[in-house]
């Protein structure tokens, strides 16, 4: 998740022309591939984890969204430059990540945990929203 965040940040800096004449400029062409790799890795991990750990009869709609994201990731390479698409997928992936990982870390599952998980998710997406919004203007 951290590497995805860094890759998205660097890609958007490069897209805005702020990485010119830096040592990172020569790796600019690999950033979309890294983003696609991290999105795909997280998506596939979520599909496997979700498939093995929950009852699909109650949550089939969420599982279908995860599988669709996993399949759509294969076709994202050319469209990854769309900042709205990046931010939307990043929001969903980080939301899903923090929903799964916080109960594992604190070993408790309750309503308060989901209220608690919203705080790191909000911080994560608001930080990414800052570079997203600043890149638009």
Instruction: State both tokens at 45.
Output: 């991990």
Tens digits of per-residue pLDDT, 84-98? 888 888 888 888 887
In sequence order, the 6+-apart residues with CB closer than 8 A to the CB of 78 are: none
pLDDT of residue 130: 54
Local confidence band at 124 (pLDDT 50, 70, 90 cut-offs): low
Res 108: pLDDT: 83
* Cα distance between residue 38 and residue 23, in whole Å: 22
Q: Nearest CA to 68 among 91, 33, 101, 43? A: 43
Rounded Cα distance, 74 and 9, in Å = 21
Length of the chain counted residue by residue: 137
User: Scanning the structure block, which residue is given the tokens 């998506």?
Assistant: 43
Range of the domain at 107: 2-136
Q: How many domains does the chain have?
A: 1
When the pLDDT of each residue in the chain is averaged and rounded to a whole number, the result is 78
Percent of the chain with pLDDT over 90: 1
* Most confident of the ranges 5-9, 86-90, 126-130, 132-136: 5-9
- What confidence category does residue 121 fall into, taking pLDDT thresholds of 50, 70 and 90? low
The helix (H) or strand (E) run that includes residue 53 is: helix 31-53
């Amino acid at each position: 998740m951290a590497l995805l965040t860094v890759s998205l940040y660097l890609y958007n800096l490069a897209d805005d022309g702020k990485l010119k004449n830096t040592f990172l400029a020569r790796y600019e062409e690999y950033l979309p591939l890294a983003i696609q790799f991290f999105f795909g890795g997280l998506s596939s991990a979520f599909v496997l984890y979700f498939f093995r750990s929950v009852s699909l009869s109650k949550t089939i709609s969420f599982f279908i969204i995860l599988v669709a994201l996993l399949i759509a990731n294969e076709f994202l390479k050319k469209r990854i430059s769309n900042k709205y698409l990046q931010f939307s997928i990043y929001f969903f992936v980080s939301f899903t990540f923090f929903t799964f990982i916080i109960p594992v870390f604190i070993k408790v599952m309750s309503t308060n945990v989901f209220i608690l998980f919203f705080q790191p998710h909000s911080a994560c997406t608001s930080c990414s929203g800052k570079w997203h919004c600043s890149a638009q203007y």
